[in-house]
Amino acid sequence: MDSAFMGWDVGTQALKAVVLNEAGEVLWEKSHPYPIGSPAETWFEQEPSTWLAAYDAIAEQFVAASLPVHLRGVGFTGQMHTTVVTDANGCPLRPAILWSDQRASHYGPILIDRWGTAGTAAVGGNYPLANFSALRLLWIRDHEPRIFDNLRRVALAKDWLRNQVSGSWATDVTDASGTYLFDVARRQWASEWAQHLGLETSSWFGPAVESATIVGSVMRGPECLCGLPVVAGAGDQEASAVGTGVVSPGTLGISLGTSGVVFMPTGEFQPPRHPAVHAFCHAVPGGWHWMAVTQAAALCWRWYRDAFFPGLTYSELDQRVAQVSSDGIFFFPYLQGERAPLMNAQIPGILMGIRPHHTAVEIGKAVLEGVAFSLYHAWVAMQEDAWPGLAPRVVMTGGGSASPVWAQIIADVFGQPVSVVGDAGAAAGAAWLAFQGVDKHDNPLPVKPLTSYEPGPASPRYREDADTFIRWAERLNQAWQDEEHRAIRSR
């Protein structure tokens, strides 16, 4: 009977569970979907109760599977920045504000005006973007004062679910890094900074510990799970990095999930100069990383499929777009505003270059290319800060990486070989963190690439198109900001 560990991933669209053995092999996996609410434009929310219901459903499926394994530990991961505010018993006071929500975007400039760019970055190591929990808490204070007055605890997505399952109230250093209430360089709460903002840290979020730290045991679910040790876990990007082997400098991780992420371990804390690049603690003890996020990646492909070809599978779409050129069309994938490197929560998605002879299939090719260009734009912002000319090993994961057409485009745009690894990334990483915590080791998870893509003959053209995309993106961003400022002045 295999010794095994279970990882849970609170994703944006579904909860996923994975069972991993000590060789890093996925023995079993299940997912359970739940809805997303959008009460206003650029606002995105989710009921935490749907995560718990999904946990219960998957736990029942695990029992029904009668898997011949000896479970020894459990880990949790989930959507970073997603913020749950609760009473003293952990009962949510309102729907969770999702990572993609932009309602707090104007608080960043307010903090910069008051404390300056250097002053704010000196604490959190990052520019204060709308996605950070601190800004959401300030928004709740100003717009939902009754809820703020009754607030006693705050949790990131995976921490709330772990609390409901194990009773432990804590977070880990990776998710804490995304709150803007954490001293990333020292790996501890920035309590004095929080007091300046009128917020709390450890009394709300609980202690911030390393990802493989055991913080409790399972108390909810079937007998085969109850009593198992539970580790703190990690944010989904750091857990995915553990699950895909992106844990040391010299490796670049690209995630093609709902959002798109460029992830680079740094080995030591180094504040990036570009404000759109995050510097966070890694799930590896004593490790840090840089991360840049484009708000919509696979989300764009889903939007395209649903809008133009709702009856087709993604595989069928792949076959269609593989046969065509985008023929001068550029797609700017800002369906949820943009983080890196534009930092404009209001800019919309843009299709440019449309002519009468163009078809929906050519637009589809432009959508795939546009996301690849946007990821490259984020990488350029990251690369120019510290390591010009660096040619890291590129590892790609996420649902979008299952598209051979998309993977080849990214290899061509980046001009480097890309290794695609399994899609169990974040959940598998959470399970491996449980293995590390229970057995007290730091061995990396063995990762076997599914396939690799080399830059092809189209790479030089794609590199030129990427440069064109970047120039236009920056012009469009400036034009949109100018228009916003004019609108504000005219009110």
Q: Distance (Å, rounded) from C-alpha 423 to C-alpha 111?
A: 38
23, 35 Cβ separation under 8 angstroms? no
Do both 477 and 350 map to the same domain?
yes
Do both 162 and 236 map to the same domain?
yes
Number of domains in the chain: 2
Do both 123 and 27 map to the same domain?
yes
Q: What is the pLDDT of residue 127?
A: 83
Could you give the angle at the alpha carbon of 402 between the alpha carbons of 369 and 3, nearest 5°? Answer: 145
Do both 299 and 240 map to the same domain?
no
Do both 204 and 103 map to the same domain?
yes
Do both 38 and 154 map to the same domain?
yes
The size of the chain, in residues, is 491
Q: What is the pLDDT of residue 275?
A: 83
Do both 184 and 100 map to the same domain?
yes
Domain closes at, from 185, 214, 245: 245
Helix pair 404-414, 360-386: axis angle to 10 deg = 40
Q: What is the pLDDT of residue 360?
A: 97
Q: Does residue 252 belong to any structural domain of this protein?
A: no
Q: Does residue 59 belong to any structural domain of this protein?
A: yes
Where the chain has pLDDT below 50, the residues are 387-389
Q: What is the pLDDT of residue 384?
A: 61
Do both 163 and 308 map to the same domain?
no
Q: What is the pLDDT of residue 391?
A: 53
**Residue 409: which CATH number?**
3.30.420.40
Q: Does residue 375 belong to any structural domain of this protein?
A: yes
Do both 206 and 336 map to the same domain?
no
* Burial grade of 67 (CB within 10 A; 0-12, 13-18, 19 or more): middle
Residue 113, C-beta contacts closer than 8 angstroms, at least 6 positions apart = none
* Burial grade of 76 (CB within 10 A; 0-12, 13-18, 19 or more): buried
Do both 85 and 157 map to the same domain?
yes
Do both 174 and 322 map to the same domain?
no
Per the structure, the complete domain to which residue 240 belongs is given by 2-245
Q: Does residue 431 belong to any structural domain of this protein?
A: no
Do both 310 and 376 map to the same domain?
yes
Domain closes at, from 245, 276, 311: 245
21, 89 Cβ separation under 8 angstroms? no
Q: What is the pLDDT of residue 253?
A: 92
Q: Does residue 78 belong to any structural domain of this protein?
A: yes
What torsion do the CA atoms of 172, 177, 179, 185 make, to the nearest 10 degrees? 120
Written as six digits, the tokens of 177 are 């890094």
Q: Distance (Å, rounded) from C-alpha 220 to C-alpha 224?
A: 10
Does the predicted model carry a pTM greater than 0.95? no
Q: Give me the active site residues, please.
A: 236
Q: Does residue 171 belong to any structural domain of this protein?
A: yes
Q: Does residue 349 belong to any structural domain of this protein?
A: yes
Domain closes at, from 245, 266, 284: 245
* 330-350 pLDDT tens trace: 999 999 899 899 988 889 999
